[in-house]
Amino acid sequence: MNSREIIKELQAQTSEKYKANVVKMGIPEEHCIGVSTGEVRSIAKKIGKSNELAFELWNTNYHEARLLAVLILDKKEITHSDIEKLMSEVVSWDLCDHLCKNLIAKMKDYKEFIYKWINSNHIYKKRAAYTLIATSAIHDKKLSKDTLDKYLKLIREAQDIEHDHIKKAVAWALKEIGKRDFDYNEKALLVAHELLDNGDKTQVWIAKNAIKELENMVKVEGRTRLISTKTQMGGEG
């Protein structure tokens, strides 16, 4: 399949419901096709890996085509320059997180992007730094205590995080570190209370958001990470 055929297939699956959801996230309507992420993933499986095709799809500017492009990019052939270009063109939190979780976090040197983007002026590069912290706290079993402590320091010292899409990622990162085990639950709560007592308006919001979830964690047999007692009782709805 070439990029034109793929766009036609995506357009054949269009739904006004999904299109409306994408527009709500701030994507211009002319860049929306209106296809569920599940359908995008299904098409990606049929295509397989192809960086050439991925960049063609990305350059169509269609949101769903960009989601698809991320899924067919081969992390073994991607360069840091490619990642920088892709992230510089991201204009929504969902594509930012999708790119982080499905591609960048799977690269051996993904940590470099955390330290590079943590002070970026680009909204979604900055969000990506915290998204990568959250994602690695969940999935990277080899994360050292030293690295986790550095991440907590980055969160404690976070600046220019007032944008809604950034502050939510900071809170997410803090919570995911706090779910690693009881040791890091305590450390994350200490950071949260420090922000609560000494932080600005945004840091106080982050602290309250994290404390609400982290102060009620339990260890459940069969799970490597802690879970909220609310989750254990069936979720918050």
Distance separating alpha carbons of residues 11 and 33, to the nearest angstrom = 6
Choosing among 1.10.1060, 1.25.40, 1.10.3470, 3.30.2320, the CATH entry for 89-237 is: 1.25.40
Spans of all domains in the chain: 1-74, 89-237
CA pair distance 57, 51, nearest whole angstrom: 10
Cβ(104)–Cβ(113) under 8 Å? yes
pLDDT tens for each residue of 84-99: 999 999 999 999 999 9
Structure tokens that stand for 97 in this block: 């997180």
Collapsed DSSP state (helix, strand, coil) of residue 217:
strand
| Tokens at 143, concatenated | 């994360």
For residues 16-34, average pLDDT: 91
Residue 217 pairs in a beta bridge with 228
Integer Cα distance of 62 and 73 in angstroms: 16
DSSP letter at 142 equals T
Q: Per residue in 35-52, pLDDT tens?
A: 999 999 999 999 999 999
| Helix boundaries (H) for 73-144 | 80-88, 93-102, 111-117, 123-139
pLDDT value at residue 25 = 85
Question: Looking at the predicted structure, is the pLDDT value of residue 230 above 90?
Answer: no
Q: Residue holding tokens 């096709």? A: 33
pTM exceeds 0.85: yes
Residues 141-191: pLDDT tens digits? Answer: 999 999 999 999 999 999 999 999 999 999 999 999 999 999 999 999 999
Q: pLDDT tens for residues 189-214?
A: 999 999 999 999 999 999 999 999 99
pLDDT at 228 (0 to 100): 86
Question: Quick one: three-class SS letters along 16-85?
Answer: HHHHHHHHHCCCCHHHCCCCCHHHHHHHHHHHCCCHHHHHHHHCCCCHHHHHHHHHHCCCCCCCHHHHHH
